[in-house]
Each structure stands twice: as structure tokens, then as C-alpha cells.
Amino acid sequence: MKNNKRPKGVPLEKRLEGLTPSFQCFHVEEPKLVFGGGNLSVDPKSGLESFGPYDADQTGVKPINLGIIGTGEGIGEFQSFLERAKEPVSPGLNTRGKTLDPHTHPDFPGWAEGRTFGANFLCGSNMYHRSIHLEYFMNAINAAKEEAKIKEVVRLVMKEIEALNNLEPAPQVIVVVLPPEVEKQIAHVGVAMSRRRIVLSPKEKFLKSLKAESDKGQGTFNFGFDVEEESPVIRGFWNFHHAFKAHAMKFVVPTQMIWQTTLHEQNQASLMWNLFTALYYKAGNSPWRLQMLPDTTCYVGVSFYKERPFGKADMHTSLAQVFGAGDGIVLQGDKAVFDKSKGDASPHLTEAGAESLLKQALEKYALQHGVLPTRVVIHKSSKYWPEELAGFRKAAKGIYRHDFLAFGDLDTRFMRVGRRPVVRGTVIVLGKGNYLVYTNGFIPYLRSYPSKRIPCPLEIIEHHGDSPPLLVCSEILSLTKLNWNSCWFGSSAPITIRFARDVGRVLAELPTDGSIVPKTKYRYYM
């Protein structure tokens, strides 16, 4: 009779040792951040509390003037929130009534007298308050269609932003507090865009039919049809946040949108950490920098966004996000191309498009730093076509050190023996140029894994370049800590690709008539 009992006294680790396959792996040390006075910490919150921001003014406390737009009640509640944040605030209790872990959810130390940010956040002057009566908001959301509701609320708010933007001096950041009535009507709009049916105009239907016949090799020659111009059709206003950010680019002053109900979230300390970090950055400041990223390397994230955020929208545009030692830069590139005959349904660039996009990125880098980089690193959201590699190499001619990496999705999970998940910073080598990087996982510094799901690694599916895996994976982990829209320990993806989808959706909301020129500074998209 077969004995199915497990052998007694044999630890699980020993039983696993003889199993195949085996993989080479290594661990990347948690990247350090630079704060005031050149002091270092791996944790943004600890660093800010202990040393202040990277660009702290040693001569005194810098004022940050905030403009506020909202109902009278909303303005008052934000002022009260700002007043509460002057002094230390505890995170409170979780949904089960238990105290939150102080390592992952520390107290907010307050900002009064220059604490934490070395700045005073000011909104006391009535000159910087623009009140919108609730009745006007209610009229705006009375429209029948969701797009019309969003359009009317955006129009209402933009008039007040323009008034604050034209002041001398203007506020450094404009905070827009939206009432619960508006939140209930439009906060959810745009969440399920991928399942939405596309409505084409007659002109678009005609041109699409021509293309379909041409692709089949049937009946249409390129006679250069002149299609009669249509009357203007309302486009955009698919999601309030994205439309708000797109239309606010008409003005110089960056904006911060917040729902009035958010000011009463249970975990007030975490809300304050995230909100004041974002406000400090949007005011033109630098909360922290990365220690290991050299000033002479240009990091470029290349991705694509749909010009209309629907599931079957077929028009894609390339997008580059450029990061170095300074502020992040956003650039639009050429239209994407598709070729299913290559066994790849993802959008790609032509050789000329790839060359043009990287040239733009290098020009912006040189303008910001005064000199071209000595090394270029590209993070791309899909595989490279040979034409794309050729175009990128042409653009980087004369810059002999470069690494071109492509990211993919992996459904496979690796498990760690024991009770704790894989440690953040673990890298598993699957093959040449093919690595898994655990940007999520157990964080020794926080003594916990701050999630309830099994950690999902990032997969590098291609690596074209001479730098060792340790260097390129260390840079990826470092770039997960450049999310100035929050004060979290580290994001799940590097900043080069982390916000590509949201940035693309903001660009998709821009008017097609070119009346609004998209900003290049990253703070306008947050």
C-alpha cells in the first residue's frame, strides 16, 4: 500500500531544496532619499520630520500662499483642516476600531513654525478666496448627460481659477474644494470607460470604412478625397479630474482638487502627509531627492495613450515622461502604429517617431540641466520593434551609454518560505535581459507588508544595453520613490511609467482646436 503521509521531521525548506526549477536572484538595498542639510533616510515621512525638505530655506520659513475655490462651507472646512494640521495629528483607528500601526501610519507632526516642510501654508487672505454658491453647482449638475454635467462644473470652476491666476501676486497653488452634491453626481464618471461604446461622427465612419477596404485590398484607391468639414462636435469631458486638469493648463498656477468629504477621512494623519507633500511640490519646491541617481543620466518613460479613453478606441499617441535630477517633464510624440502581422497588437513607433520623441526628451533635459546627459535610460511599456531601437539609437548618437528596457505583465507569483511575503527589492533573473523586480513586498524598515494581496512583481522583458542587472534594477526601485503626489514609502512602479495612464487621459481631454497648449511640467498633471 502506498504511504501518502508526509515524512516527519523534514522541514519544508529541505523538501523544497531538491525541487526544480531554480532561479538566480539578488536583493537591491532600499534606496536612500536626500533631505534638508544633505541628510539621508529611506522613508519620506521620517526624513521630512527629522530633517525637513531637500530645498529647505536655511534663512527662515518660506510662505506658501494658497488660493481656495468652493462653496462658503467648503472654504471654511478647508481652513479648519489647515488649522488642525498646524499641530501634531494622530492617524486614529482603523475600520475595526483598532490603533493603526505607527510604523506604516505615523503621526503627522504639524507644519506650524516651519515644522516638517519648513513652510507656512497660508490661506487667510480673503483676496485668495473665490466662493461659488451651491445653487450654481446644482444648476451645473442638472444637465441630462454626464459629459454635460462635467463640462458645466469645469466651466464654473475655470472662471474662478482665472480670477485667482490674474491676481498680483497670484497664489502659488489653487485648491478647489468640491461639495458632496457634485461628488455624488460626477465622481464615478469615467471609471468604466473601457466598456463604453464609441460613437463615431459621420466623417469618422466614412474614413474608417475607407481604411477597412484599403486594408483588405479592395476597391478604394488613394484619390485624396476632400471630406466636407463637420460642424463642431463636443469632445472630451469623460472624467472630471482629467478634464479639470486639462482645462486648468490655460493658467500658470498649479491646482489641487479635493472632495469636501475627503477632509473628514478617518485617517487624518495620512491624508495630511499626502496632501501637504503634494502642495509643497506643486508650489515649486522639492520635498526630497534620490541619492543614487546621477545628475548626468536622463530617464525617459515611453508609453501610449488613447486619444479617446474607450475600450475599442484605435487612435493612440506616444507619450514621454522625462526625469533627471530636476522636475519631471511630459512630452507628446507621434501617432502610434500597429502591425498585427508581427504577432503584436500593442502600439509602437516608427523609426522616425522614436527618433523624434527621444530627441525632444534630450533637448528638454539639456534645457533644464545646461548640458546633454552622458547616459540615457528608457523604460517602455511594451516590447521594442527593431525600427524603434534604430530610432532611439539615432537620437542618442554621441551618448554611448544607454539602457533600453521594456516592461511586461507576468501572472506568475513567487512565494517565500515562511509567514512573510517576498521582500521588497528582491530581483529574480529569468534569463538574459529578463528580470522580475519586487517593488511591492515585505518592507523591513516598516516591519510589515502594507497590503492584503500577494505581491506582484514588475517584469522586465527586454534589456538592450551594457549596464549590469543590479544597476538597472536599483534604478527602477529608486524611481518608485519619486511620487511627490503622496508621501508613501514607495510606489508599485517607477515614476517613468507609474502615471502614464493618468497623464495620457489628461492629454486626451485637451480641446482638439489647440486652444490649450499642454504644460510640460509634471506638477500640472497631478
Please report the pLDDT score of residue 193 as a whole number.
Answer: 43
Determine the Cα angle at 295 with ends 291 and 297, to 5°: 105
Grid cell locating 12: 519544508
Q: Each residue of 293-340: pLDDT tens digit?
A: 888 999 999 988 887 655 554 567 888 888 876 678 888 888 888 887
Confidence of residue 230 (pLDDT cuts 50, 70, 90): very low
The number of C-alpha atoms within 13 Å of 286 and in the hemisphere containing its C-beta is 16
Higher pLDDT, 420 or 480: 480
Q: Which of 14-28, 213-227, 376-390, 482-496 has the lowest mean pLDDT?
A: 213-227
Please report the pLDDT score of residue 215 as a whole number.
Answer: 45
pLDDT for residue 74 is more than 70: yes
Place of cell 543614487: 292
Please report the pLDDT score of residue 205 as a whole number.
Answer: 53
Helices (H), 294-383: 351-369
Confidence of residue 217 (pLDDT cuts 50, 70, 90): very low
Helix%, strand%, coil% for the chain, nearest 5 = 35, 20, 45
Average predicted confidence (pLDDT) for the chain: 85
Please report the pLDDT score of residue 273 as a whole number.
Answer: 96
Q: Each residue of 152-209: pLDDT tens digit?
A: 999 999 999 999 999 999 999 999 999 999 999 998 887 544 334 444 455 545 555 5
Residue 300: exposure state from Cβ atoms within 10 A (0-12, 13-18, ≥19): buried
pTM of structure: 0.86
pLDDT for residue 95 is more than 50: yes
Output phi, psi for 128, to 5 deg. Answer: -100, 10
Please report the pLDDT score of residue 14 as a whole number.
Answer: 66
Q: How far apart are CA 464 and CA 385, in angstroms?
A: 12
- β-partners of residue 67 are 174
Place of cell 554621441: 398
Please report the pLDDT score of residue 39 as a whole number.
Answer: 96
**Which of 45, 42, 85 minimizes the C-alpha distance to 66?**
85
Residues written for the chain: 526
Helices (H), 377-488: 386-395, 469-479
pLDDT for residue 15 is more than 60: yes
Q: How far is CA 316 from the centre of its chain?
A: 19
Higher pLDDT, 57 or 322: 322
Q: How far apart are CA 63 and CA 129, in angstroms?
A: 17
